[in-house]
Structure 1
Amino acid sequence: MRLPRSLVPITLLLGLELALCRGQAASQYCGPQGQAEKLHFTRLGKGRWLDPQTQPPGSLDPLYRMVRGFLDMVQLNPFPEGLIRVALNEPSSVRTSDVVRYEAGYVVCAVIAVLFLLIVPTVGLCFCCCRFRRRCGGRIKVEHKSMACERGSLMSFLLLITLLLLTGVVCAFITNQRTHDEVGPGVRAVPGVLNSLQGLVSDIPQELQAVADQFSIPQNQVLEELDGVGVNLGSTIHTQLRGTVYPMLASLQRLGQDLQVSLDHLQLLNSSTVYLQDQQEPLSSSLQDHRHKLLSLLQDAQCQGCASALSHSQLLELGANFSQVPSVKSVLQKLKGVPEANFSNMVQKDNSTFNTLPVLTALETADIVQELKEKVAQIPEEVKTLSKGFPGSEAADRWRRALVEAENSSRPYLHMIQRYERYRWIAGYVLSSVILLVVICNLLGLSLGLWGISAREDSSHIEAKGEAGAQFLMAGVGLSFLFSGPFILLIFATFLLGGNIQTLVCRSWESQELYQFADTPGNLPPSMNLSHLLGLKKDVSIPSAYQQCKEGAPLWKVLQLNDSYDPEKHLNINKYTTWLQEQMDNFNIDMKDLDLLNEAAKRDLETFRSSGIQKIDYSGFLTQVQKPMVKMDVLKLVKELEKLGQAQTDSALGQQLKQEAQALQTLYQEKILPQQTHVVTLNQSARALSSSASNVQLLVSETLVTSNSLKTELPIRAHWILRNESECFLNREMAYFIQYRDWAREMVTEHIATCQPLSEALDNGRVILCDLIINPWNAFWFCLAWCTFLLIPSIIFAIKTTKHFRPIRKRLSFWEGLDFCPDYPRLPTARG
C-alpha cells in the first residue's frame, strides 16, 4: 500500500514513542479489544443429571442430633456383615440368637415397651375401679397447715410436666407432617432416577454428535470477524497512531500560526519604529515652540496663579527617543517570501490521508482474507469423528437391562410404602391430638382449680370452679390411661423400623461400608452381582468406582467398554490452526514512500531558523516604550491653561492662554495621539516577540531534526503494529477454537461420558432416605415417646392435685398463731 508523500508531520512526542516502540517490538500487547468474546454453547448431558439433594439447616437439627445420639447408644454393634451375608444368600439359615444378639439394644427397648403396655393400662383399670368406689381421687377431708405448700408444689410440678408435654407434642406434629411431606416425593423420585440413568451410556453417541455440530459456533464467529479484519487492522493502526498524530498535527497547525504571528509582529515592529522615528523630530520642534510661548506668557508679572503651570510648561519636551532602538530590516530581508507553504492546507490534507488508513489496509489484505474464510469454513476431520469413535453398545444394553429390572421390581414396594405411610401419618396425627387434648385438660384444670381456690375467701362461694378443674384433670388422666397402649405400639413400630434403617443402612451408607460389603465376593447372591450388572472393569471395585465417579471420572475408566476411547485425539485441531497462522503471517503494509513535510514547509522552517529573529534586542524597544511620549501630560496642561485663562483679570493675557491651550489640544490630537497608538503597537509586538521568538525557534529546530528520522521510523512502527495486531487477531480467533475444545472436553468427560450421575444418584438417595425421611421419622417417635413417658408423672401429679381442687368437707374454725408455707398465700379460715 503506497500512501501520498505528505501524510503526517509528527514531532517530539512521536520520536519518544518510536524509541519506546523499539523496546516493545519483541513483546506482544493486545488491548481489551484483542480479547476473545465468551462463546455460548448449548449445555448437553442434562437429561441424566439430577439436582443435588441437600438437607438445609433448620431449627430441628439439634433434635435430629439428639435422636441419632440415642440410637447410637441403643445400637452399639458394628455393621453385621456376616449376618447380612447369610440373610441374603441363605435366609433359612439365619439364627434367631444372632439376630437377638445384634439387636440387643432394640430388645431392651422392646421389653420396656411391653412392660409399659402391660403395667400402665392395668394401673389405669385398677384406678378406674377404685375411682368408681370413690376411694381414689377424692377430696381432702381436713385442712392442715402444710396443705398450701403441698398444693403449690403439686401444681408447679404438674404445670412443668404439662409444658414439657406441650413442647413434645408440638415437635411431634411438626416431624409427623415433615415425614409425610418427604416420603411422597422421595418415593416418586426413585423411578425417575432409574429412568434417567438408563441413558447414561446409550445416549452418548448422539450427544457427542451434538458436540461436534457445535463446532459451527466458533466457525461462524471467526468468519464474521474475518469479514472486517482488514478494516479492523487498519483502524487499530490508526487508533494507536492517532494519539500521536492528531496532537502533532495540531502542534504543526499551531506552529504555522506561530510563524505567521511572529512575521506579523516583526513587520508591525518595523513599521511602527520607522513611523515613530520619522515623526519624532517634527514633534520635538512643535513642543519646543509651544514651551517658549508658554514660558513668556506665564512669566508675565500680570499672570495670576501661574507658578504651577509655569513649572509644568518647562517639562513640555519628548520623553522617549526612538532613534536609539535597533533595526529589524535585516531580519525582515531574510524572511522575505516566508511563509511559502500553506500549513493549514497541508495539515488538512495530511489528516484526510491518515484517516483513509483503515480502508487502504482492507484493500491490501482482501485476497488473504478470502483464502482464510475458505479454510475456516471446513470442519476438521478429527472433530467429524468425535461421535463415531465411542464404543459402548454392549455396556449400554447391559446397563439398561439392569436398571429396567430394578425399576420394575421396585414399583410394588414403592406403592406399598406410600400406602402405609398414609396410615402412619393419620395415626400419628390422631395420637398427637390426644396428647394435645391431655395438655389442654391439664391447663384448663389448673386454671379453673386455681380460680376456685382463690375464690374460697368469699362465704357465698360455691365450689363449682374447683370441681370443674378437678374434672378436667381427671379427664386428662382418663385419656392418658386409655390411649397409652396405642401410643406405645405406634412408638415401638416406628422406632424399630426407623432406628434400624438409621443404624443399619444410613450409618454404613455414609461410611461407605455398604459399598465395601457389596464389593466383597460372596456377600451378595449371584443374581445381585453389582459389578457385573453395572459392567465395571475387573480392576475397579465398587467403592473405587463410586469415588472415581464422584470425582467426575469418564465412563471408559470405570466401565468395560468394547475399546478404549481418547477424546483428545478427536479434539486435536493443531493442523487446522497451524495453517491459519501461516496465512496470517502474509499480512503486510507498504509505507516506505511515506514523507513527513513537503519541501516548501521545510524551506520555511529552515529560513525562519536562520533568520536570527531571536537575537533582536527587544529590551531596547521595551526601554523606550516604557518612557512617556512627552514628559508632561499635555491634556492636563491644557485644562490647567484653560482655567488660568478664565481666572486672569487681564483679558488679553487670558485670551492668549486660552489660545495656547487650544493649540496644545490640536497638537495632541494630530501628532501625539497617533504616535502613542504606534507606541502601543510597538510595545505589544516587542513583548510578543521577546517571549515567543526563542520558543518558536526551538520548536522549529526540533521539528526539522525529528522529521527526517520519522520518515524512517514511522513505517517501522506501523509495520510492528500490524504484526502485533495480526498476532492478536490470530490469538483471538484461536481462542474461539480453544474455547470450543475446552468446552467439548468438559462436556465429554464431565457431562456426557461421565459416570458422575451414578454417584450423584447414590448420594441423593442417601440424602432423601436418611436426611429428609428418616431424620423426621425418628424425631417423630422420639417426641411421641417423650410425651408418652411424661404421661406417667402427669397422671400422678394430676390425681394428687385433683384433691386440692375439690371442696374440703371439714374446715377448721380458726388457725390463729399457726404458720403456713411462706411461699403460698394463707388459706382463709372457716366462717360460721
Structure 2
Amino acid sequence: MAYQNMSSPVYKPGPAPESGGVKVFNDMVHSFLDLVQPNAFPTDLLTKLIKDNFQVQEETNKILIYEVGFLVALAIGILFIVLMPLVGLFFSCCRCCGNCGGRRHQKQTKKTDCKRRFIYLFLFAITLVILAGDVCAFFTNNKISTAVNNSLDVFNDTLDNMKTYINSVPKEIDFIISASTIPIQKGNDSILRIGPILGGMILAQIGTVANTTLDSLFNMVNVLNSTAKYMSDVKNSFNSLQDKQQNISKDLRIVQQEINSTLTKCAGACSGGPTVDGLTLEANFSTIPDFSDKMKLIQDMLGSGIDSDIQKAYKTLNDIPETVTNQTRSTVSGVQDQLVNIKNKINETRSRIPVVDSLENVNKEIDGVSGKVHQYKPDVARYDHYRWIVGICLCCVILLVVLCNVFGLLLGPCGHNSKADPTERSCPSNSGGHFFMAGAAFSFIFSWLLMLVVLVLFLAGGNSYTLICKPWGNQQLFKFLDTPNLINGFNLSQMLNIKDSNLSISSLYSNCEKNESLWTTLDLNKMFNLDEYLNISKYTDEVAGTVENTQISLKGITFINANQRDLVNNVSKSGIDALNFGDITQQMTKNTTKTDLGSFANQLEALANQPAAANFSTELKNEADTLRNIQSSIDGSLLPEIKNINRSIYNLQVISSQLPASLNKTLKSIDEAQTFVDTQTSDIVKNESKVFLNTLLGYFQAYIDWAKTMLTKEVARCGPVAKTVDAAHILACGYIVDSLNAFWFSLGWCTIFLIPSIILSVKLAKYYRRMKTSEVFEDSDLNHVEMVSTSHQFLIPRVTTKS
C-alpha cells in the first residue's frame, strides 16, 4: 500500500553571506577585534547584569577588566583626539616664530637629492595606503546603505518564508489525515470483494487437494473408457476375422474339390501335377479369451453417472467464492459501518494536536513584526541617508588630504632642478610644496574629528561583534539565552504552548539546523501520546469481531459414491490385467494357408499349357484364377483384419496390465482427499478468514505506522527556522555590523596614516617650496657661504612693535 510523497513548500532565496574580497576585508577586521578583545564571552557577567537590571556599580571592575582592550584603544583614540589639535597648534605657532621650518632656510649637501627621493617614495606609498583606505571607506559607506535598504526587503522575505513554513504545517498534517482514505478504501474494497478474495483463498487451499483428486478421477474415467473401447475393438475385430476366415475356408474347399475333380479326369495326362492337400487355412482364429464379464463391469462403472458426479464436484468447488459472498452479506454491511467510525476517529486526531494553534500565534507575531518593519522603513531610509551624507563628507575630507598629497607629488617634481638655488625654485615646484603643507594642515584640522567618529563607531560596532555577532555565529549566544530566569517572563515552552518540556533555544536551533521534524525538535512525545491519538484498536477490534463471528459453511464435496467405489473395486479385482491372448497371438505367427496359393495357381497354368492336358486347359486356368482371387481376398481383407485385432489386443494388454494398480491408487487418493475435505474444511475456513482479517486490519496498522513516522520524522521539518535565524545573523552581522566595522576600520586606517603623511609632507615640502635663504657651494672643499635673498614676497607677516 503506497502513499504519495508530501510536496515541499517553495521558499524565497535567503541572503547569501559575503564572499571574495569583502569577506577577506571583514576577516581582517574580525582579526583586529579579536586582538582587541581576546576574552571569552562573559556569560556570568551578562547574566548578573541582566538580572540586576543593568545596575553596573557592583560589577564595574569586572566590566572594565573585560573591556580593557577597548579601553586601551579608547585611551589611545582620546589621546589622539587631544594631541593632534594641540600638536597642530604648536606646530603652527612654531613655524610662525620661524622654527620648525618656518625660517625657510635650506642647506645644500650631497645627500639632499637622496633624502628628497627617499621621502618622496615614502610619502607616495603612504598616500597610496591612505587612498586605499579611503576607497574602502567610500565602498563600505555605500555598502552600509545598501545593506540597510536590502536588509529590510530580505528581512520581509525571511518573514514570508517563516509564514510559508508555518502555513505548511497544517497542510502537511491534513495531508497525513486525508491519506487515511487509502486504507479505508482498501478495506472497503476488500470487504466488498470478500467472496472472490476470501473464497478464493479457501478455494486455493481446498483446491490444492480436491482439484488434483478430481483430475485423477477424471483421468481414471478416461482410462476406463479407453479400456472399454479397446475391448470392444478386440471383440469386433475377432468377430469380423472369424467371418472372413470362414468365407475363405469355404472358398478353398470348393476350389480344392474342383481342382481334385479336374486332375482325376485328366488322369495320366496330368500326371506330375500338384496335390490339393495344402489348399487349406493353416492359421485358425476360432477362439479368443472371454472378457465379457470384465467388459460389463467397466460399462457398469461408466454408466453409474460418474461423469456428472465429477462435474458436480468441480462446480461445488468453483462455487466457493459465490457461497462466501452469499453468506457474508451482513458481515460486509457491518464492517462498512465500522470503517466509517475508523475514518471519524482518525479525523479527530487533527483537532487534538494543539501545536497547530500555537503556530498560528507565532504567525500573528510575525505579521506584527512585518507591519512594524513596513511602518519604520521610511524613517530608517531617511536617517540612513543622513548617515550616508556624513560618511561621504568624512571620506571627502580624507580624499582632500590625498589630493593635496597627490598634487604635491605631481607638481613638486615638475620644474624642479636640483642644481637650481632653493630661493629660485620654479612656480610648479613651489606650488607642490604648498599642497604638501595644505595636506598637513587639513590633516591637523580634521584628524581629531575623524578619530572621534572612529572611536564612537569602534565602540558600537566592535562590541556588537564581540558580544552579539561572534557568539551568535558559534551558537554561544543561544546557550546564554537558555540561562534559566535570564529574562523575566520569557519561556520558550510557554510561548509555544508546550507543557512539560525543557525546550531550549540552542537545542531548537541545533535540531532545526539538521532539518529535524518539529515533533522531534519540540520533544512533543512528552506532551502528546501519539499512540493514544491514533489508537483505533477499539474499532479494529469491532471489525475483527464482526469478521470472526461470520459463519461460513461450504457444501460437502463427494468425489465418488459407495456404488461407484464398489464398481471400481470389482474392475480392479476382475483379473483384467491377466487377460491371455497367447493362442490367438500364436495363430497370427502362422501362414494364412498351408500352400502358397499363387505358386499353386502357377503350377496349374503350367499344367494347362502342356499338350497332353489340352482338353483340360480351360478348367485348369479357371481354377488357377480362382486361387489368385482367393489370395487377393486374403491379402485385402483377412490380413488387415489380423493386423487390427493384433493392434487392439496390444493396446488392451498395455492398458489393462496397469489398470488395477491405477484404480487402486486413484481410490486411495480419493479416500485421502475425501478425508481431507471432510475434516479440514472448517479449519481452512477459519484460518483463511483469520488471514483475510489480518490483511484487512493490516491496512490500518500500516497506515498508523506510516502516520506516526510522518508526524514524528517528516512533518514540519524545521530547517527553514534555522535558515531564518541564519538569515537574521547574515543581515544583522554579515551585512550591517560588518559593514559598519569595515567603515570605521577604513577611516581609522586612513586617520592613523595621516600622522606619517603629515611628517613626510612637511619634510618633503622644504625640498620643493621656494626658500628665503640657502647655502650654496662651488666645491666640496669650500666652506658654505650663506646667500640672503632680498625678496620679501614669501615672508610670513609678523607682529611688530613701533620703536
1:365-385 CA-to-partner distances (Å, cap 9, x unmatched) read 223333333333335886565
C-alpha RMSD of the superposition: 6.5
Q: CA deviation at 1:573?
A: 1.6
Q: Sort the Cα spacing of 1:183 and 1:52 in 2 relative to 1 into closer, same or farther, 3 A.
A: closer
Contact 1:53 1:768 in 2 (8 A): no
After superposition, the Cα gap between the structure-2 partners of 1:601 and 1:220, relative to the gap in structure 1 and judged at 3 Å, is same
Task: After TM superposition, list the pairs within 5 Å mapping 1:192-203 onto structure 2.
Answer: 192-196=160-164
Change in Cα spacing, 1:591 to 1:670, as seen in structure 2 (3 Å) is: same
2:230 to 248, 265, 275: 265
1:350 is matched with which residue?
A: 313
Deviations 1:767-795 (CA, angstroms, capped at 9, x unpaired)? 89879x989xx9xxxxxxxxxxxxxxxxx
Shift of the alpha carbon at 1:615? 0.6
Give 1:764-783 correspondences, 5 Å limit.
766=726
Q: What is the aligned partner in structure 2 of residue 222 from structure 1?
A: 187
Looking at structure 2, the residues matched to 80 and 192 of structure 1 have their Cα atoms a distance apart, in angstroms, of 36
Deviations 1:469-505 (A, max 9, x none): xxxxxxxxxxxxxxxxxxxxxxxxxxx9x99999999
Structure 2: distance between partners of 1:413 and 1:116: 51
Q: 1:578 to 1:118 in 2, by over 3 A?
A: farther
Number of the residue aligned with 1:577: 540
Contact 1:319 1:627 in 2 (8 A): yes
Pair 1:707-2:670 in alignment: yes
Judge conservation of contact 1:386–1:567 (CA < 8 Å) in 2: no
d(CA) in 1 for partners of 2:26, 2:335:
68
Once residues 342 and 279 of structure 2 are traced to their aligned partners in structure 1, the CA distance between those partners, rounded to angstroms, is 103
> How is 1:502-513 mapped onto 2 (pairs within 5 angstroms)?
511-513=474-476
Task: Judge conservation of contact 1:230–1:366 (CA < 8 Å) in 2.
Answer: no
Match of 1:519 in 2: 482
Alpha carbons of 1:235 and 1:639: their partners in 2 closer, same or farther (altered >3 Å)?
farther
Q: 1:352 to 1:528 in 2, by over 3 A?
A: closer
2:705 maps to what in 1?
742
Residues 625 and 503 of structure 1: is their aligned pair in 2 closer, same or farther, counting only changes over 3 Å?
farther
Q: Which has the larger radius of gyration?
A: 2
Is the 2:309–2:559 contact (alpha carbons within 8 Å) kept by the matching residues of 1? no
Could you list the runs of 5+ residues in structure 2 that have no partner in the other structure?
75-119, 131-146, 389-457, 739-803
Name the residue aligned to 2:577: 614
Residue 238 (structure 1) aligned to one of 173, 179, 203: 203
Q: 1:531 to 1:618 in 2, by over 3 A?
A: same
Task: Name the residue aligned to 2:649.
Answer: 686
Q: Are the aligned partners of 1:233 and 1:361 in contact in 2 as well (CA < 8 Å)?
A: yes
Whole-angstrom CA distance in 1 between matches of 2:123 and 2:263:
158
**Does the C-alpha gap of structure 1 residues 216 and 336 become closer, same or farther in structure 2, counting only changes over 3 Å?**
closer
Which amino acid in 1 is paired with 2:69? D
Is 2:248–2:634's contact at 8 Å kept on the other side of the alignment? Answer: yes
Match of 1:667 in 2: 630
Partner of 2:683: 720
Is this contact kept in 1: 2:281–2:593, CA < 8 A?
A: yes
Q: Which amino acid aligns with 1:237?
A: I
Superposition deviation, residue 750 in structure 1: 4.3
Match of 1:806 in 2: none
Relative to structure 1, the CA distance from residue 625 to residue 703 in structure 2 (aligned partners, 3 Å threshold; closer, same or farther) is: same
Say whether the 8 Å CA contact 2:601–2:625 is kept in structure 1. Answer: no
Change (3 A) 1:238 1:631: farther
Alignment partners' CA distance in 1, 2:344 and 2:531: 13
Query: CA offset at residue 663 of structure 1?
Result: 1.0
CA deviation string 1:176-217 (max 9, x = no partner): xxx9xx9999656312123346669xx86x987886676555
Alpha-carbon spacing, 1:658–1:396, altered in 2? closer, same or farther (3 Å): same
1:566 paired with 2:529, answer yes
> Measured at CA, do residues 606 and 527 of structure 1 come closer, stay the same or move farther in structure 2, by a change above 3 Å?
closer
TM-score, normalization by structure 2: 0.55
2:551 counterpart of 1:588: yes
Letter in 2 for 1:762: A
How big is the shift at 1:688? Answer: 0.5
The one-letter code sitting in structure 2 at the alignment partner of 1:585 is E
Looking at structure 2, the residues matched to 413 and 647 of structure 1 have their Cα atoms a distance apart, in angstroms, of: 152
Using the alignment, how far apart are the partners of 2:605 and 2:12 within structure 1?
112
Q: 1:82 to 1:685 in 2, by over 3 A?
A: same
SS of 1:554's equivalent? helix
Residue type matched to 1:737 in 2? F
Cα pair 2:198 2:688 within 8 Å, conserved: yes
The secondary structure found in structure 1 opposite 2:651 is helix
Determine the structure 1 residue equivalent to 2:722.
Answer: 762
Cα distance between partner residues in 2 of 1:316 and 1:63:
133
Say whether residues 1:365 and 2:325 are aligned partners: no
1:629 & 1:500 partners in 2: Cα distance? 135
Query: Deviation string for 1:317-368 (max 9, x for gaps)?
Result: 6454435754435544655745322444443343344333322222222233
CA contact (8 A) 2:345 2:536 kept: yes
State whether structure 2 residue 539 is matched by structure 1 residue 539.
Answer: no
Supply the distance in 1 between the matched residues of 2:15 and 2:229 (Cα, whole angstroms): 88
Output the CA distance in 2 between the equivalents of 1:101 and 1:539. Answer: 42
Provide the secondary structure at the position in 2 that maps to 1:222. Answer: helix
Q: 1:119 to 1:623 in 2, by over 3 A?
A: farther
Cα deviation for residue 263 of structure 1 reads 1.8
Give matches, 1:244-393, under 5 Å. 245-246=210-211, 248-273=213-238, 276=241, 280=245, 283=248, 318=281, 320-322=283-285, 326-329=289-292, 331-332=294-295, 337=300, 339-379=302-342, 383=346, 385-387=348-350, 389-391=352-354
CA shift in 2, pair 1:612/1:124, >3 Å: closer
Q: SS of 2:540's equivalent?
A: helix
SS of 1:587's equivalent in the other structure is coil
Matched, 1:81 2:51: no
1:741-774 Cα distance to aligned partner (Å, 9 max, x none) = 234434544466x6x42x5421465489879x98
User: Counterparts of 1:737 and 1:52 in 2: how far apart (Å)?
Assistant: 40
Cα shift at 1:611: 2.2
Q: Match of 2:224, SS?
A: helix
* 1:280-324 CA-partner distances (Å, limit 9, x unpaired): 577567658659959989x99999xx9xx989x998764544357
* Superposition TM-score, scaled by structure 1 size: 0.54
Partner of 1:190: 158
Structure 2 CA distance, aligned partners of 1:287 and 1:268? Answer: 28
Deviation at 1:518, TM superposition (A): 3.7
Evaluate the alpha carbon distance shift between residue 253 and residue 64 of structure 1 in structure 2; reply closer, same or farther with a 3 A threshold.
Answer: farther
> Alpha-carbon deviation of 1:567?
2.8
Q: CA deviation at 1:253?
A: 3.5
Separation in structure 2 between the aligned mates of residue 90 and residue 220 of structure 1, nearest angstrom: 65
Match of 2:396 in 1: none
Q: Please state how far the C-alpha of 1:687 moved relative to its aligned partner.
A: 0.8
For residues 239 and 763 of structure 1, the distance between their equivalents in structure 2, rounded to whole angstroms, comes to: 58
For 1:573 and 1:701, the matched residues in 2 are separated by: 57
SS at match of 2:341: coil
CA 1:54 to 1:552, structure 2 compared with 1: closer, same or farther past 3 Å? farther
